[in-house]
Chains A and B, each alone.
Chain A
Amino acid sequence: MGNLDIKLKVDATGLSCPLPILKATQAIRTVASGELIEVVATDPGSVKDFAAWAGSTGNALVESDSADGKYRFVFRHK
């Protein structure tokens, strides 16, 4: 953590499903292939949702953690 080169950060806190994955889909298209985005969400469903989203879209989940009711994900654009 902290040593990743994050190109774009997406604040999806306070947003309900499906907005976090919509925001992530929008965001990852704005960075080049191989670049990283970070998404922070508070929706507990986002943990399983983002695992499914990464698997389905091919945008790899590079890192994830949670603290204080916030869930953080780092994805690499396919």
Chain B
Amino acid sequence: MDETISLVLFSGTDDKLQAAATLVAGAAALGKPVKIFLQYWGLNAFRADRIAADHGLAPEAGEAGKLAFDAAARTGQAHWADALRMAKELGEVDIQACSASMDLLKLKQSDLDPLVNGIEGVAAFYINAGEGQIVFI
């Protein structure tokens, strides 16, 4: 069985990115290779000038959800970008930007945080995913 886990990060809010980073970090700690494909607002969140900014939460979070999320951020939880950086140091984690989303957002690779390894199209994404699971967030 192919152990590679592939994640498509479409959403750009901090809660979804936090959940995705947890999945990535866990896989990396278990020694599973991880491929990440950044599309649309997920890609936009990886802009070098905005990665540490407040990206808001999904609408279902509401006010109570925002309070809970902010409290967790202050105590014992790594920011999603830091969790991804740790996961990259520990395991085989490859982060690729979707080339169509790059065009849509008028971005060049130099606009992105160094966490992003490169730019690829959907065919390359599927080839690299192999027979492994694909998760869309």
Our pick among B31, B72, B75, B87 for the contact of A22 (Cβ within 8 Å) is: B87
11 new A-B contacts, CB < 8 A, other than A22-B83, A26-B90, are A14-B76, A15-B77, A18-B83, A19-B83, A22-B25, A22-B28, A22-B87, A25-B91, A26-B86, A52-B30, A57-B31
- Proximity string of chain B (66-87) to chain A, C-beta cutoff 8 Å, 1 when within and 0 when not: 0000001001111000010011
Contacts of A52 in B (CB 8 A): 30
Within the complex, what minimum Cβ distance (angstroms) separates A71 from chain B?
Answer: 14
A21 CB within 8 Å of chain B: yes
Interface residues of B (CB under 8 A from A): 22, 25-26, 28-31, 72, 75-78, 83, 86-87, 89-91
Is there an interface contact between A18 and B75, defined as CB atoms closer than 8 Å? Answer: no
Is there an interface contact between A17 and B22, defined as CB atoms closer than 8 Å? Answer: yes
Is there an interface contact between A18 and B25, defined as CB atoms closer than 8 Å? Answer: yes
A16 CB within 8 Å of chain B: yes
The complex places the Cα of A4 from the Cα of B39 at a distance, in Å, of: 49
Is there an interface contact between B75 and A25, defined as CB atoms closer than 8 Å? Answer: no
- State which residues 23-71 of A face B: CB under 8 Å: 24-26, 49, 52-53, 56-57
6 chain-A/chain-B pairs, Cβ below 8 angstroms: A16-B72, A21-B25, A25-B91, A52-B30, A53-B29, A57-B30
Is there an interface contact between A19 and B75, defined as CB atoms closer than 8 Å? Answer: no
Closest chain B residue, CB of each to CB of A19: B78
Contacts of A25 in B (CB 8 A): 28-29, 90-91
